[in-house]
């Protein structure tokens, strides 16, 4: 069960938190780890409500800020994080999970609008959300439980930010951008006692990867290549995220933690 090992007081903020994907698993893992003030967002209002209900089942006394919207919209993101600051007066953990996959096309077949959408959601959306969180973290002092950490940001990239695969140039580029953005921010905010890392999941069993027969078939070769020969679970990614947010990871900075069943080594 994700989140049972770490004790994480304070305030957590998770994007892409609707439904049964990585973001929802991360939000529930924070609740299991003693984090009772949680802010969640997703573009799908109904699925976001299901995550809110799941958090309250874990901790009926949890304080939850839940707001649906588009994380590639600067005004929405800034307003959301300002609301978190107003409600909770701080922000200790920001986990940027929102992302989209895109179509299975080579570059000459890909429309500019499709490229722009992937880049806008995956890269720009992560940057906007991370930027807003960092701005809030700079205004606060570390928790007594985390005396060397003013805040922790974890961005969700992908194994395809480390290695490439056919017919996914825009997606691979967007996830690679997140990895190097993470590294640059890690350098910039070390002096402020803010840690910035990312997780690079392999093929994870989520609605995005199992929602259609075409996508499932597209991802099958990646599963077959990985030595563990299976999809990962959202909870396995949540465990990695919570570790990077925890005091146990206090000297880990600018790292891209690959959680892919061995895909990138094979």
CATH number, domain containing residue 90: 3.40.50.720
Domain for residue 2, yes or no? no
Amino acid 1: pLDDT: 54
Q: What is the per-residue pLDDT across 178-200, written as a single tens digit (0 to 9) for each?
A: 999 999 999 999 999 999 999 99
Q: What is the per-residue pLDDT across 11-40, written as a single tens digit (0 to 9) for each?
A: 999 999 998 899 999 999 999 999 999 999
Amino acid 220: pLDDT: 86
Residue 14 backbone dihedrals phi, psi, to 5 degrees: -130, 125
Domain for residue 145, yes or no? yes
Give the integer Cα–Cα distance in Å for 12 and 158.
22
Give the integer Cα–Cα distance in Å for 212 and 173.
23
Amino acid 215: pLDDT: 80
Domain for residue 83, yes or no? yes
Domain containing residue 191: 11-265
**Using alpha carbons only, what angle is made at residue 37 by residues 40 and 52, rounded to the nearest 5 degrees?**
40
Domain for residue 4, yes or no? no
Catalytic annotation, residues: 171, 175
Binned at pLDDT 50, 70 and 90, residue 71 comes out as very high
Q: What's the whole-number mean pLDDT along residues 228-248?
A: 96
Domain for residue 256, yes or no? yes
Q: What is the DSSP string of 29-67?
A: HHHHTT--EEEEEES-HHHHHHHHHHHHHH-TT-EEEEE
Count how many domains the chain has: 1
Give the integer Cα–Cα distance in Å for 43 and 253.
30
Q: What's the whole-number mean pLDDT along residues 240-255?
A: 97
**E strands of the chain, at which residues?**
11-15, 37-42, 63-68, 93-96, 151-156, 194-201, 256-259
């Amino acid at each position: 069960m994700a989140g049972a090992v770490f004790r994480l007081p304070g305030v957590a903020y998770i994007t892409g938190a609707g439904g049964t994907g990585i973001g929802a698993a991360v939000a529930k893992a924070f609740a299991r780890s003693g984090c009772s003030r949680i802010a969640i967002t997703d573009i799908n209002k109904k699925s976001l409500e299901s995550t809110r209900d799941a958090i309250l089942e874990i901790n009926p006394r949890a304080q939850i800020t839940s707001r649906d919207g588009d994380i590639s919209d600067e005004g929405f993101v800034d307003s959301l994080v300002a609301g978190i600051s107003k409600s909770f007066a701080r922000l200790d953990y920001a986990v940027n999970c929102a992302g989209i996959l895109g179509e299975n096309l080579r570059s000459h077949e890909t429309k500019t609008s499709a490229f722009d959408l992937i880049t806008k959601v995956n890269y720009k959306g992560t940057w906007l959300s991370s930027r807003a969180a960092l701005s809030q973290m700079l205004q606060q002092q570390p928790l007594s439980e985390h005396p060397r950490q003013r805040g922790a940001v974890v961005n969700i990239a992908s194994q395809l930010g480390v290695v490439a695969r056919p017919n996914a140039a825009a997606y691979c580029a967007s996830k690679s951008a997140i990895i190097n953005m993470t590294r640059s921010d890690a350098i910039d905010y070390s002096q402020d006692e803010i840690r910035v890392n990312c997780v690079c999941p392999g093929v994870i069993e989520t609605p995005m990867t199992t929602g259609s027969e075409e996508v499932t078939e597209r991802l099958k070769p990646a599963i077959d290549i990985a030595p563990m020969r299976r999809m990962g679970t959202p909870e396995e990614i949540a465990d990695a995220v919570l570790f990077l947010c925890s005091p146990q990871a206090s000297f880990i900075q600018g790292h891209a933690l690959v959680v892919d069943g061995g895909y990138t080594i094979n």
